[in-house]
Amino acid sequence: MHGGAGGHADARKGRAMMGKPERVYRFSTLRRIEHGILMVAFVVLAATGLPQKYPQSPISLALLQAMGGLETARIIHRAAAIALMLLALEHIGSVLYDLYVRRVPPSILPTREDFHNAWRALRYNLGLEGSPPRQGWFTFQEKFEYWALVWGLIIMGLTGFMLWNPITTARLLPGQWIPAAKVAHGSEALLAVLAILIWHVYHVHIRRFNRSMFTGYLSREEMEEDHPLALEAPPRPVPLDPLETRMRARRFWAVYGTLAALWLMGMVWFVSGEKTAVTTPGPIPDIARVRAYAPLTPTPVPTPSFLARATVNLGSSWAGGIGTFLEENCGFCHGPRRREGDLDLTTYDGVMKGGKSGPAVIPGAPGISPVLIWTAREDHPGRLRPSERAAIWLWIQNGAPR
């Protein structure tokens, strides 16, 4: 994480001891602490998240076993996500404080010159220009990485909420959004890991080990190579009137304190508000020790295949038979006339829209689809035979195609 708007405060803080090369102060203690927390949280999220995306990989199996199983990995993953949300709250506050109270120029914002520098850097790397572009306090590479991080956190936060709270999400959005969020969350995570390994590691560790995020300083030689314009025109502190600064600080803390409290209350609800998500099943016993089929008496007839028979009888899509079945068996109570629970099960759009309790079907998630949960209750007037239930389960599992 780069310094944001306040990263260059006290930009040329002193000189080093005698006999040592001059150093330039780039990152405050706060920014370095933020970077350390971000680094640890990112590694933990990657180590616990990617094995869930690729569970059959030998590396994933080894990591999950080392962490004590899938459920433990999920707990660690969510704890790291909470730490990242708290870090985002703090960073937003510190940046806004620098902008509004201290009136530090927002040097991390992209400018037109950054696009010109990117073009000149490309030409330099292709051998079409003799020297790299001269850049200021933050290079276009650093700005790109910073805002890519911001964008990634937004995507991961929104999709993570949807996966953490699927029932709540299904009440607010169409059911198809949940499997879409799963794809987006995993793909964005993979993109972030690759960006760190390829882009960040090269620019910060391989090309030249940049220690400024650990020490706070960058040598003058490194500044002349990467940030020559910052040496020629170093950032000047903005003259501040003490009285106006105190007034600005009071206004800032009043607004930010309120928003931060709302943020924290939202996080508490985010973490503990939903208890209906599907839990992880227990470990499967060693297959070598399990007697898969041991009848006490001979079976008189072969066990029928409910899934195969149900699929043939009801079809594999709404138009192929599922819709007709639901209309004939559920339409009396949940049709256009009575609409009990404000639910219409006679049309595909009505099933996806749902009623007072949310969508009746959540594509790709039959285990939490209310149409199967309701019909399994003893007090529900409409009950499904095993073959019918299996057919609807398979239809939902396949994405509930129209």
Going by pLDDT thresholds of 50, 70 and 90, the confidence category of residue 338 is confident
Length of the chain: 402
Going by pLDDT thresholds of 50, 70 and 90, the confidence category of residue 187 is very high
Find all residues with CB under 8 Å of 96, minimum gap 6, and list them.
Answer: 252, 256
Highest mean pLDDT among 113-127, 336-350, 383-397: 113-127
pLDDT tens digit sequence for 151-165 = 999 999 999 989 888
Query: What is the per-residue pLDDT for 167?
Result: 86
Q: Is-contact 176 282, C-beta < 8 A? A: no
Q: Where are the domains of the chain?
A: 4-272, 306-397
Residue with the larger pLDDT of the pair 326 and 36: 36
Q: Is pLDDT at 312 greater than 80 in this prediction?
A: no
pLDDT tens digit sequence for 58-79 = 998 999 889 988 889 999 999 9
Q: Is pLDDT at 311 greater than 90 in this prediction?
A: no
Query: What is the per-residue pLDDT for 4?
Result: 45
Q: Is pLDDT at 18 greater than 70 in this prediction?
A: no
**CA 262 – CA 256 distance, rounded (Å):** 10
For residue 211, the one-letter residue type is: R
Q: Report in angstroms the alpha-carbon separations of 367 from 29, 376, 397, 401.
A: 49, 12, 9, 17
Q: Is pLDDT at 294 greater than 70 in this prediction?
A: no
Q: Is-contact 49 189, C-beta < 8 A? A: yes
Q: Backbone dihedral region of 135: left (phi > 0), alpha (psi from -120 to 50 degrees) or beta?
A: beta
Phi, psi dihedrals of residue 137, rounded to the nearest 5° = -60, -40
Q: Is-contact 104 238, C-beta < 8 A? A: yes
Which of 230, 159, 145 is CA-nearest to residue 189? 159
pLDDT tens digit sequence for 194-238 = 999 998 998 888 888 888 999 999 988 888 888 888 888 777 767
Q: Is pLDDT at 185 greater than 70 in this prediction?
A: yes
- The tokens for 34 are 């933020």
What are the percentages of helix, strand and coil residues in the chain, rounded to 5?
60, 0, 35
Q: Is pLDDT at 253 greater than 60 in this prediction?
A: yes
* Top-tier CATH class for 4-272: mainly alpha
**CA 140 – CA 118 distance, rounded (Å):** 7
Residue with the larger pLDDT of the pair 150 and 13: 150
E strands in 4-137 = 23-25
Phi, psi dihedrals of residue 36, rounded to the nearest 5° = -65, -45
Q: Is pLDDT at 267 greater than 50 in this prediction?
A: yes
Q: Is pLDDT at 304 greater than 60 in this prediction?
A: no
pLDDT tens digit sequence for 340-366 = 778 888 888 888 888 877 788 888 888
Residue 157: exposed, middle, or buried by beta-carbon count in 10 A (0-12, 13-18, 19+)?
middle
- Helix 306-314 × helix 386-397 angle, to 10°: 80
Q: Which stretch of 90-99, 162-171, 254-263 has the lowest confidence by average pLDDT? A: 162-171
The overall average pLDDT reported for the chain is: 81
Going by pLDDT thresholds of 50, 70 and 90, the confidence category of residue 385 is confident
Query: What is the per-residue pLDDT for 292?
Result: 55
Q: Report in angstroms the alpha-carbon separations of 254 from 32, 73, 95, 102, 260.
A: 27, 39, 16, 16, 10
Q: Is-contact 127 144, C-beta < 8 A? A: no
Q: Once rounded to an integer, what is the mean pLDDT over residues 171-199?
A: 91
Alpha-carbon dihedral of residues 352, 358, 360, 364, nearest 10 degrees?
70
**CA 6 – CA 21 distance, rounded (Å):** 25
Query: What is the per-residue pLDDT for 275?
Result: 65
Q: Is pLDDT at 276 greater than 70 in this prediction?
A: no
Query: What is the per-residue pLDDT for 333?
Result: 81
Q: Once rounded to an integer, what is the mean pLDDT over residues 272-294?
A: 56
Query: What is the per-residue pLDDT for 373?
Result: 79
Highest mean pLDDT among 7-21, 111-125, 363-377: 111-125
